[in-house]
């Protein structure tokens, strides 16, 4: 049984109150982690403030070297980390392995490129006068993250935050505290100095305490509702905030596409990580002429997926992360069926896997915008498919949502691709591609999917303020626009 402590000022501290972390494939308790309250959070922010002064004095190249070692440590410990991810949140080992290597790639990308992205600009004004800009760290960054990519999402913020001279108080999800603790250990092994990274495990109240603390910035990934709460609670202090929130991405298939490729992409995109992915195609729209054959192929491939414990190498679909997440999904499917949707396959708890939070991947058709599956994020293995007549209708249907994270378009026609990419109201568009990310490309949504960017040169700049410096080296004793104004009378 794992015993979780808090990392504050370089020391692992225990606490009075604890909570259980469960293996979602069995319901067994994996370990007990600390439930940090206001006192522990306040202490973590205080030590992070002290540490920030010296961390920011270290040359950026040296900070980047330390961060690069986090990337090395991840690869060194990848076997243990991937197993921990799988037993704590249920995903197949194959996917956990990809998460570890992708995280290392992103950390190293920021370590290699961060310095270049934070070089200021020179701005000539006139003969005597010039300006320049300087990127300065925000201070202490509170990083609050969800459970669905418990290693990647924290480190894609921690790495740029540290390189740019900030210190961090990190709050992992209450469903994956031990992966969060592992991140603290890896940072220590990489040589991140005491107090520069602090880990406070806990629940929503712990996160709220961090938002209400003397922090300088909150970098948040999670649901839109929590994002809105964070924005409200940050208002009084005017913290800098970056919000990566939920999505209901459209997957739009035109009749000229390679239908088999589109089906393969849609089935993988919708069901990998048990459908618990922010950019998963949550509303699939198919051009009328090919809708029936698309649905037939999609259902057939869905029924071939192997459901089981993520630790079994043959498993395609692990359990959902928790009892509550599965119950939410079941309510959404019930709502759709009550309002007229048809279930083409799946949509129930598998009889052979009664202990964990398993759910047979489902395909729904006959859906309308009266149903929660079309209006709210569906965060589990349920695919929702409907048809469209022409491009204008596809655009209208895809944009008929409060979310604006991503979208995926399937066509061989470049004109269609370009028109769709300009008219879809979201932060990211993939064409003939689905659920990919590249460290060098910006990540983030609009509308209820959030604000700010992760990854790329834009991502690191979320963690800095731009200081403008203007210098006049001339010898003039006055300016034509200074007092006294009467001189022009
Ligand atoms: P969640 O909002 O329930 O929790 C996220 C984190 O916020 C957790 O650490 C939680 O303890 C904390 N929290 C809860 N209440 C809080 C409060 N009042 N103040 C501060 N912190 C609080 O989300 P979740 O269920 O963990 O994650 C799933 C959601 O995350 C989905 O909506 C998914 O789309 C979204 N997500 C978005 C992206 C993206 O890049 N846009 C990536 C991954 C996940």
The verdict on 141 and 288 lying in the same domain is no
Give CA–CA dist 334/16, Å, rounded: 41
Per the domain annotation, does 478 fall within a domain? no
CATH number of residue 325's parent domain: 3.40.309.10
What is the model's pLDDT at position 321? Answer: 98
Determine if ligand 1 sits within 6 Å of the CB of residue 219: no
The percentage of residues in the chain with a pLDDT greater than 70, rounded to a whole number, is 100
Determine if ligand 1 sits within 6 Å of the CB of residue 244: yes
What is the model's pLDDT at position 156? Answer: 98
User: What's the Cα-to-Cα distance from 438 to each of 115, 352, 435, 441, rounded to whole Å?
Assistant: 19, 38, 10, 5
Other C-beta atoms closer than 10 Å to the C-beta of 68 total 21
Per the domain annotation, does 344 fall within a domain? yes
Mutate to test the pocket of ligand 1, among 146, 244, 445 (most ligand atoms within 8 A of CB): 146
Mutate to test the pocket of ligand 1, among 223, 281, 401 (most ligand atoms within 8 A of CB): 223
SS3 of 41-95: the string is HHHHHHHHHHHHHHHHHCCHHHHHHHHHHHHHHHHHCHHHHHHHHHHHHCCCHHH
User: What's the Cα-to-Cα distance from 463 to each of 16, 187, 467, rounded to whole Å?
Assistant: 33, 19, 13
**Count of domains in the chain?**
2
Per the domain annotation, does 158 fall within a domain? yes
- The Å distance, Cα 146 to ligand 1 centre, comes to 5
**Could you give the count of Cα atoms lying within 13 Å of 456 in the half-sphere of its Cβ?**
11
- The Å distance, Cα 226 to ligand 1 centre, comes to 6
Mutate to test the pocket of ligand 1, among 36, 37, 152, 222 (most ligand atoms within 8 A of CB): 222
Whether 208 shows a pLDDT value over 80: the answer reads: yes
Asked whether the beta carbons of 89 and 356 are under 8 A apart, the reply is no
The verdict on 232 and 280 lying in the same domain is no
- The Å distance, Cα 450 to ligand 1 centre, comes to 12
Q: At what angle do helices 391-399 and 414-423 cross, to 10 degrees?
A: 30
Asked whether the beta carbons of 252 and 220 are under 8 A apart, the reply is no
Give CA–CA dist 376/372, Å, rounded: 5
What is the model's pLDDT at position 13? Answer: 97
What is the model's pLDDT at position 488? Answer: 80
Determine if ligand 1 sits within 6 Å of the CB of residue 222: yes
- The Å distance, Cα 469 to ligand 1 centre, comes to 38
The verdict on 457 and 413 lying in the same domain is no
The verdict on 279 and 167 lying in the same domain is no
Give CA–CA dist 425/302, Å, rounded: 29
* Strand pairing category for 140-144 and 11-13: unpaired
- The Å distance, Cα 328 to ligand 1 centre, comes to 15
* Strand pairing category for 406-410 and 249-253: parallel
Query: What does the CA dihedral 311, 7, 147, 189 come to, rounded to 10 degrees?
Result: -50
Written as one string, the DSSP assignment of 332-399 is HHHHHHHTT-EEEE--S--TT--SS-----EEEES--TTSHHHHS---SSEEEEEEESSHHHHHHHHH
The verdict on 413 and 460 lying in the same domain is no
Determine if ligand 1 sits within 6 Å of the CB of residue 226: yes
The verdict on 226 and 333 lying in the same domain is no
The verdict on 228 and 282 lying in the same domain is no
The percentage of residues in the chain with a pLDDT greater than 90, rounded to a whole number, is 98
The verdict on 111 and 35 lying in the same domain is yes
CATH number of residue 232's parent domain: 3.40.605.10
Per the domain annotation, does 476 fall within a domain? no
Whether 173 shows a pLDDT value over 90: the answer reads: yes
- Look at ligand 1, atom 16, and give the residue with the nearest C-alpha: 204
The verdict on 276 and 167 lying in the same domain is no
Residue 447, beta-bridge partner list = 403
The verdict on 48 and 167 lying in the same domain is yes
The verdict on 286 and 391 lying in the same domain is yes
Determine if ligand 1 sits within 6 Å of the CB of residue 171: yes
- The Å distance, Cα 156 to ligand 1 centre, comes to 15
Going by pLDDT thresholds of 50, 70 and 90, the confidence category of residue 469 is very high
Structural domain that includes position 74: 2-245+449-470
* Residue indicated by tokens 């000229």: 256
- Across the range 262-287, mean pLDDT stands at 98
Determine if ligand 1 sits within 6 Å of the CB of residue 245: yes
Whether 19 shows a pLDDT value over 80: the answer reads: yes
- Across the range 254-275, mean pLDDT stands at 98
Per the domain annotation, does 114 fall within a domain? yes
User: What's the Cα-to-Cα distance from 224 to each of 146, 247, 376, rounded to whole Å?
Assistant: 12, 9, 10
Written as one string, the DSSP assignment of 253-271 is E-TTS-HHHHHHHHHHHHH
Determine if ligand 1 sits within 6 Å of the CB of residue 148: yes
The verdict on 218 and 254 lying in the same domain is no
3-state secondary structure of 236: coil
The sign one gets for the Cα dihedral 279, 284, 290, 292 is: positive
Per the domain annotation, does 356 fall within a domain? yes
- Across the range 363-378, mean pLDDT stands at 98
Determine if ligand 1 sits within 6 Å of the CB of residue 274: no
Per the domain annotation, does 475 fall within a domain? no
Own/partner long-range contacts of 411-415 (Cβ < 8 Å, ≥24 apart): 411/254, 411/256, 411/257, 412/256, 412/257, 412/258, 413/254, 413/256
Whether 489 shows a pLDDT value over 90: the answer reads: no
Going by pLDDT thresholds of 50, 70 and 90, the confidence category of residue 398 is very high
Query: What does the CA dihedral 328, 334, 337, 338 come to, rounded to 10 degrees?
Result: -130
Per the domain annotation, does 62 fall within a domain? yes
What is the model's pLDDT at position 393? Answer: 98
The tokens of 34 are what? Answer: 């600390």
3-state secondary structure of 5: coil
Give CA–CA dist 254/238, Å, rounded: 45
DSSP letter assigned to residue 307: B
Annotated catalytic residues are 244, 278
- Across the range 166-188, mean pLDDT stands at 98
């Amino acid at each position: 049984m794992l015993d979780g402590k808090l990392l504050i000022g370089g020391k692992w501290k225990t606490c009075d109150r604890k909570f259980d972390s469960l293996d979602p494939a069995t319901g067994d308790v994996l370990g007990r982690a600390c439930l940090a309250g206001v006192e522990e959070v306040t202490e973590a922010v205080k030590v992070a403030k002290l540490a920030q002064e010296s961390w920011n004095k270290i040359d950026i190249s040296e900070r980047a070297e330390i961060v690069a070692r986090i990337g090395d440590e991840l690869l060194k410990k990848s076997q243990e980390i991937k197993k921990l991810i799988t037993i704590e949140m249920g995903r197949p080992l194959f996917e956990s392995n990809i998460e570890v290597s992708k995280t290392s790639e992103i950390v190293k990308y920021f370590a290699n490129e961060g310095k270049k992205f934070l070089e200021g600009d020179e701005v000539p004004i006139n003969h005597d006068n010039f300006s320049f800009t300087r990127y300065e760290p925000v201070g202490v960054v509170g990083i609050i993250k969800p459970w669905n990519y418990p290693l990647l999402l924290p480190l894609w913020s921690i790495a740029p935050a540290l390189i740019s001279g900030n210190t961090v108080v990190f709050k992992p999800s209450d469903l994956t505290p031990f992966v969060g603790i592992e991140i603290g250990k890896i940072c220590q092994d990489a040589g991140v100095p005491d107090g520069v990274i602090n880990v406070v495990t806990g629940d929503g109240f712990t996160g709220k305490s961090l938002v209400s603390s003397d922090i300088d910035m909150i970098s948040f990934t999670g649901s839109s509702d929590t994002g809105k709460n964070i924005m409200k609670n940050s208002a009084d202090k005017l913290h800098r905030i970056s919000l990566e929130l939920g999505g209901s991405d459209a997957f739009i298939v035109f009749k000229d596409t390679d239908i088999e490729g589109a089906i393969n992409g849609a089935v993988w995109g919708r069901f990998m990580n048990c459908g618990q992915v922010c950019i998963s195609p949550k509303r699939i729209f198919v051009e009328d002429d090919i809708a029936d054959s698309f649905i037939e192929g999609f259902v057939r491939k869905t029924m071939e997926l192997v459901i089981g414990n993520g630790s079994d190498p043959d498993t395609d679909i692990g359990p959902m992360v928790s009892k509550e997440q599965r119950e939410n999904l079941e309510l959404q499917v019930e709502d759709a069926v009550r309002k007229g949707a048809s279930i083409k396959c799946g949509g129930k708890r598998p009889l052979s896997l009664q202990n964990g939070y398993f759910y047979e991947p489902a395909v729904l058709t006959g859906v309308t915008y009266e149903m929660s599956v079309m209006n709210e994020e569906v965060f589990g293995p349920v695919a929702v498919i409907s048809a469209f007549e022409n491009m204008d209708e596809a655009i209208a249907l895809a944009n008929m949502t409060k979310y604006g994270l991503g979208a995926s378009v399937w066509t061989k026609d470049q004109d269609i691709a370009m028109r769709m990419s300009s008219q879809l109201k979201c932060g990211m568009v993939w064409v003939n591609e689905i659920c990919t990310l590249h460290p060098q490309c910006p990540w983030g949504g609009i509308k209820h999917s959030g604000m700010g960017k992760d990854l790329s040169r834009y991502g690191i700049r979320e963690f800095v303020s731009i200081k403008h410096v203007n210098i006049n080296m001339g010898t003039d004793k006055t300016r034509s626009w200074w007092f006294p104004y009467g001189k022009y009378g």
